[in-house]
Amino acid sequence: MATITGKPDAFSPPGRADAGRFQASRSIKIVDSVMSVLIRAGGVGVIVAVLAIFLFILWQILPLFRGASVELLSEHDVPAGTYAALATDEWSELPALIAPDGRITFVDLVGGRPPQTDDLAETLQSPIAALRLVGGGNLVVATADRRLAVVHIGYHPEFKDDVRTIVADVDAGAAISLGIDAGRVVALDYGDSGDRKVAVVIVETDGRRSVRAVTMRQRRSLTGSGKTVVDSAVEIDTPFDGEPLEVLASSRGDSFLVRCRGGTMYSFVQQEGGFGLHQRFVPFEDAPSREISLAQYIFGDVSLALVNSDGLNRVFSLFRPEDNSPRLWGLTKEFPPLAGAGDLYAKSVRNKTFLVGSGDEVSLRYSTTESIRWQETLPFRPTLATISGKNDRIVFLDDQDRLHVYRLDDPHAESSWRAFFGKIWYEGASEPRFEWQSTGGSDEFEPKLSMVPLIFGTLKGTFFALLLALPIALAAAVYTSQFAHYKVRAIVKPVMEIMASLPSVVLGFLGALWLAPILETRVPTVLVLLALVPVLAMLVGWLWPKVPLQVRNRMGLFGELAVLTALLAAAFGLALVAGPLLERVLFVTTDPHTGQRVADFRDWWRHATGLDFQQRNSMIVGFMMGFAVIPIIFTIAEDALSNVPQNLRSGSLALGATRWQTAMRVVVPTASAGIFSALMVGLGRAVGETMIVLMATGNTPIMEWNVFSGMRTLSANIAVELPEAPHHGTLFRALYLGAMLLFLMTFVVNTVAEVLRQHLRNRYKTV
């Protein structure tokens, strides 16, 4: 037998001598182990980082949804007596107890000084007939001889031997005659806006009550404010349904309310020659008991807190009817009822918080959001209460002559689920609405912090951006990957990727200062373009295959593109000519001043639809943000289409399918998972865009799908408001809530996208 010698066969199992060449070296194993650990650590680190961001934002917004914290701090005995009003300094260290006869007793809760007393009857040299505590630390007093005085109770700190002491100042101004010949003042109120002052009194004469309004003015001189004199004193001759019990003067000095027995309220406003009846209303007309046990203004004197004898608690506010007639009082809020008739009231001077009570039950409520911030049954029966100027203390006086000081912690009273996501009937509005308006020009302003307009604006901006970007990006991706020559693809793809690197602030700048003024007067031209370009593109696509092959070959590589470009240029030229013609034919209105017919799309749009037309609008956002989104969608979708295995294309073409049929029925479904990923990435880019929507729109938080109005998105709102938001204030945390909504929207979209992508991938995967 012959023996065959030589090298081992290449396909034979390796011998023992060369087995080691298939084993990895120790260094490779070490590197592989280290990289595996680093990759796992990186993945875990990403998850931890995202979770940490989520928890940090959540930690910032949780205080928005907590109620008020009220805690007993101290209790103090006070001199025995009957008291009609309770006031306190902003530190709640020296409360003032005001008796019906005009004695003011100051109780030192910190320094232990004995109570100090001021006697207004002695100061004014007349017994006190009626008094009322009004805003600004003022006490309005009517004397038995029918004079009126405004007493200011002020506080200031003094320092002696490094000891701080709060000192009270009682300044009783000169008493003014009410111009009443007979009768006794049984109730009064006072409103002062600086220029306008009004005192409203109920006078009882021989068992009959009448209402008198006294307007006053303060003389001015070069040295400052002068003497206050009576301007007019008129008796209200309106017949009341019941006996007048109480008057409430607005702090603006231009109106007042009269509460009558039987539950009827009368509203009077200043008119030429006096005060005229503005409205008569019955707040509890539909309730078993119409009798009003408590009626007081809420801070701002635009809303009225009312409680009937059964404990029903309602808020009536001045609202403007839809026909723009004068504002009327109407029911805007209804709170859960109290245990019985309301006999305790105090209001904050910083927001719309008010305290109501019945017996030993007290409830701290916020008018705007219709929410209960705190409610408790106290171990005593309070007769008077006040909320400090800093809104951090509540002081109660009980029926056993003891003061109870409670710490109040409610930094975000205006926030609640309803405030952020529900319809709110704001003061002065004609109906409940979603509204964002974080700042205002007066102390009476209500913060409006609804997230709904911002969510709507985010979706609106995203919709118009994708409306432009999706068809262009996907059509370009299909054309580049399936139909264009590889040399054309080598030019188009890098150019599109360079477009993605353009800063969004540059696009926003161009949209706001260049594109918006151009398109403002050329909307009909844009409409013609939007209709003409797709038609011409499809027409070229239908006609090009019918051109003889010899002609197409003679035109070279870029012949088809050159023809399409030329036709698109012609379309632009045609649109520039047809747009103004279309405007003169279809978009014509009549000028109300001259009566002439004017061709102006902007005026036509306002008259035809009743909607606004703004220069910076959603159309501008659609163009500029679409320009930013197109490269992202195109790049990812084109890669997905190009990576479809060539054997699928070849098999489809071999079976007789056209290139178009192959692209639409084979390539696109196979690449659908990647195309869907491209859409989701583009969607995320549009949702989170900030600078374009900030600069290219009016940035107004309105809720309408009008393409010619702007919007405000969540991201743009954060960019605009954050520099002005007080640290850890309600607005500050509300912006974090907007960030959380963006976070959740992105998370949900990405999660759904991944699930659908996996589904599409499994459905169209190739073996």
Residue 767: pLDDT band by 50, 70, 90 thresholds?
A: very low
From residue 292, give the alpha-carbon distance in Å to each of 70, 238, 243, 250. Answer: 28, 20, 13, 19
Looking at mean pLDDT, say which of 113-127, 320-334, 487-501 comes out highest: 113-127
How far is it, in rounded angstroms, from Cα 399 to Cα 83? 10
End-to-end distance of the chain based on CA atoms, in angstroms?
50
Whether 122 is in a domain gets the answer: yes
Percent of the chain beyond pLDDT 90?
45
Buried b (16+ CB within 10 A) or exposed e, 517-535: eebbebbbbbbbbeebeee
Q: What is the CATH number of the domain that holds 190?
A: 2.130.10
Within-domain flag for 541 = no
Cβ-contact 300, 347 below 8 angstroms: no
Let me know: does 282 contact 264? Beta carbons within 8 Å.
Answer: yes
For residue 100, the 8-state DSSP code is: T
Mean pLDDT to the nearest integer, 546-574: 79
pLDDT tens, residue by residue, 159-198: 887 888 888 999 887 888 888 888 899 999 999 887 788 9
- Of 331, 351, 375, at which residue does a domain stop? 331
Whole-number average pLDDT of the chain: 87
Distance, CA of 257 to CA of 277 (rounded, Å): 10
pLDDT band at 440 (very low <50, low <70, confident <90, very high): low
Average pLDDT over residues 472-491: 86
Picking from 340, 370, 335, 332, the residue whose alpha carbon sits closest to that of residue 352 is 370
Max Cα-Cα span within the chain: 152
For 446, residues 6+ apart whose C-beta sits below 8 A from its C-beta are 352, 368, 414, 426, 427, 440
Top pLDDT among 230 and 240 is at 240
Q: Are strands 255-260 and 264-271 parallel, antiparallel or unpaired?
A: antiparallel
pTM for this structure? 0.87
- Residues 214, 238 within the same domain: yes
The contacts of residue 19 (CB under 8 Å, 6+ apart) are none
Domain hosting residue 306, numbered range: 79-331
Name 443's Cβ contacts closer than 8 Å, sequence gap at least 6. Answer: 299, 300
- Report whether pLDDT(554) > 60: yes
Q: Locate 146 and state its tokens.
A: 């029918």
**Is residue 176 located within the same domain as residue 282?**
yes
What pLDDT is recorded for position 1?
44
pLDDT at 290 (0 to 100) = 94
| Contact yes or no for 176/148 (Cβ under 8 A) | yes
Q: Tokens 């010899």 — which residue?
A: 550
| Residues 57 and 193 grouped into a single domain | no
Residue 34 in this model has a pLDDT that exceeds 70: yes
- pLDDT tops 90 at residue 201: yes
Q: Which of the four pLDDT bands, split at 50, 70 and 90, describes residue 255? A: very high
Whether 322 and 340 share a structural domain: no
For residue 3, the 8-state DSSP code is -
What value does the mean pLDDT take over residues 596-613? 88
For residue 570, being part of any structural domain is answered with: no
| Lowest pLDDT segment from 8-22, 133-147, 562-576 | 8-22
Counted residue by residue, the chain has a size of 767
Domain annotation covers residue 461: yes
One domain for residues 321 and 459: no
- Domain boundary among the residues 331, 365, 385 is at 331
**Residue 430 one-letter amino acid:** S
Residue 585 lies in a domain: no
- Residue 571: CB partners within 8 Å, gap ≥ 6? 529, 532, 533, 536
Cβ contacts of 193 within 8 Å, gap of 6 or more: 251, 252, 253, 254
In this predicted structure, the answer to whether residue 33 has a pLDDT above a threshold of 70 is yes
pLDDT at 343: 93
> Which band of pLDDT confidence, cut at 50, 70 and 90, is reported for residue 441?
low
Instruction: Tell me which residue of 114, 119, 116 sits closest to 106, measured CA to CA.
Output: 116
Query: How many whole angstroms separate alpha carbon 390 and alpha carbon 348?
Result: 9
134 lies in the same domain as 57: no
- pLDDT per position as a tens digit, 403-414: 999 999 999 999
Choice between 301 and 22, residue whose per-residue pLDDT is larger: 301
Kindly state the DSSP code that residue 300 receives in the 8-state scheme. T
Q: What angle do CA 240, 245, 248 make, to 5 degrees?
A: 95
Residue 327, H or E segment: none
Instruction: State pLDDT tens for residues 709-762.
Output: 989 999 999 999 988 888 899 999 999 999 999 989 888 888 887 787 777 777
pLDDT digits (tens, 9 = 90+) for 135-165: 777 899 999 998 999 999 999 888 887 888 8
pLDDT at 20: 61
How many angstroms separate the CA atoms of 210 and 270, rounded?
18
Q: How far apart are CA 740 and CA 756, in angstroms?
A: 24
| CATH number of the domain bearing residue 675 | 1.10.3720.10
The number of folded domains in the chain is 3
Q: Residues 123, 239: one domain? A: yes
Q: Do 207 and 234 fall within a single domain?
A: yes
- How far apart CA 705 and CA 700 sit, in angstroms, is 13
How does DSSP assign 540-565, residue by residue?
HHHHGGGS-HHHHHHH-TTHHHHHHH
Tokens of 714: 């969540």
Element (H, E) at 7: none
714 shares a domain with 629: yes
In-domain check, residue 591 = no
The Cα 501–Cα 632 span in angstroms is 10
Contact 173, 151 (CB under 8 A): yes
509 within some domain = yes
- Final residue before a domain boundary, out of 401, 423, 448: 448
Predicted confidence at residue 177, as pLDDT, reads 86
For residues 749 and 607, state if they share a domain.
Answer: yes
pLDDT for the residue 380:
95
What pLDDT, on the 0 to 100 scale, is given for residue 13?
54
How far apart CA 356 and CA 346 sit, in angstroms, is: 7
Whether residues 310 and 393 fall in one domain: no
- Could you tell me if 305 and 398 lie in one domain? no
Domain annotation covers residue 504: yes
User: Rounded to 5 degrees, what angle do the CA atoms 744, 746, 750 make?
Assistant: 115
